[in-house]
Amino acid sequence: MISVRMQLTGFLLLLGCGWGLTQPLIKITVTAGYQPFGIVFWQMLIGAVLLGVLRWRQMGRMPFTIKTLGVWLMIATIGTLIPGYTSFRAAFHLPSGIMSIVIATIPMMAFPIALALGNDRFSLRRLGGLCLGMIGVALIALPEASLLERAMIAFLPLALIAPFCYACEGNIVARWGTAGLDPFQVLFGASAIGTIIALSLALGTGQFFVPQSPFILADATMLLSSIIHVLVYSGYVWLIARAGSVFAGQVSYIVTGSGVFWAMLLLGETYSLWIWAALVCLAAGLSLVQPRLAQSEPLGETQTHG
């Protein structure tokens, strides 16, 4: 009989590998010439439809107030629209594996923001993790032999905007909450509102597109990455409720590692020793910045969302 912990660990691995797969899929999509706001629109529309289908029984009970609208706008803006646009733009110029490695900086960026907002207390251990993260980014940006083309370095700051937005999002939610909405209501409402905003931006910037027959590989990768994103995010929310936020937070390691693996397997990417050293530094930094396991809820004792 497989223990509960082993089952949850297997589910964690599945989530991480799925999340990591979205990076090379997006790389294929943007390389075909599809523009960021157009991709964001379709991603959010697909997400809203899927969540509506999966949770249609609960949709009628969603509270519409000024506070919930504010939460949805915040999540849609700094949780999807801004990071989506910047990461898709950066993904066109940077290797997919680099984009996966950059994602590992989210907890390191979140730490100083948490200190500023009073969400966390100072810790030398976590400061050390932040420093290792900065060293990891420097190992990508500074050595001339780190990337295939030095011109790629100009797009590294653009790639770092997405993890900064995610770090801000997490801290805002931790500080002010979600106005009584459960995670699925938050994600559905943000996806619905974000779809409208993204459509306006895509039309206004000339980036709107409609996939047409004969469909190309980029159409399939965009659809697949959108579906995977909704499923793994929903699974991640369930895992937090079932196993605790610290256990679920370990998915960051798997997302980064599997993202690099998928990029090597599907895109044939190769990396210099500097990049591998950066990956090691970021993984070590991540282990220091993550909250201690003792702070997590006991496995199997938390309530799941309905």
pLDDT tens-digit readout, 30-67: 999 999 999 999 999 999 999 888 777 766 677 889 99
E strands in the chain: none
8-state DSSP, 48: H
Angstrom CA distances, 11 to 17, 230, 260, 284, stand at 10, 15, 20, 23
Count of C-beta atoms within a 10 Å radius of residue 98: 28
C-alpha triplet 287, 288, 294: angle, nearest 5° = 85
Number of domains in the chain: 1
* pLDDT band, very low/low/confident/very high, at 292 (cuts 50, 70, 90): low
Residue at 235 is within a domain: yes
For residue 62, what pLDDT is reported?
A: 79
User: Which range marks the domain in which residue 161 is found?
Assistant: 35-293
Q: Could you read off the pLDDT of 132-149 as tens digits, one per residue?
A: 999 999 999 988 878 888
Residue with tokens 């989506």: 84
C-alpha dihedral (34, 100, 185, 44), degrees to nearest 10: 0
Distance CA 23, CA 29 (A): 10
CA 180 to chain centre: 23
Residue at 13 is within a domain: no
Q: Is the pLDDT of residue 158 over 50?
A: yes
What is the number of residues in the chain?
306
Residues 6+ positions from 245 with CB-CB distance below 8 Å: 291, 296, 297
Residue at 299 is within a domain: no
Q: What percent of the chain has pLDDT over 70?
A: 92
Q: Could you read off the pLDDT of 92-139 as tens digits, one per residue?
A: 999 999 999 999 898 889 889 999 998 888 889 989 999 999 999 999
Residue with tokens 């306006």: 200
Residue at 273 is within a domain: yes
Residue at 20 is within a domain: no
* pLDDT band, very low/low/confident/very high, at 245 (cuts 50, 70, 90): low
Residue at 304 is within a domain: no
Residue at 29 is within a domain: no
Whether a cis peptide bond, with omega within 30° of 0, leads into 36 is no
For residue 299, what pLDDT is reported?
A: 47
Residue at 30 is within a domain: no
Nearest to 105 by CA among 155, 163, 23: 163
Contact between residue 230 and residue 71 where contact means Cβ atoms under 8 Å apart: no
Distance CA 105, CA 246 (A): 16
3-state secondary structure of 208: coil
Q: Could you read off the pLDDT of 212-241 as tens digits, one per residue?
A: 888 999 999 999 999 998 888 888 878 877
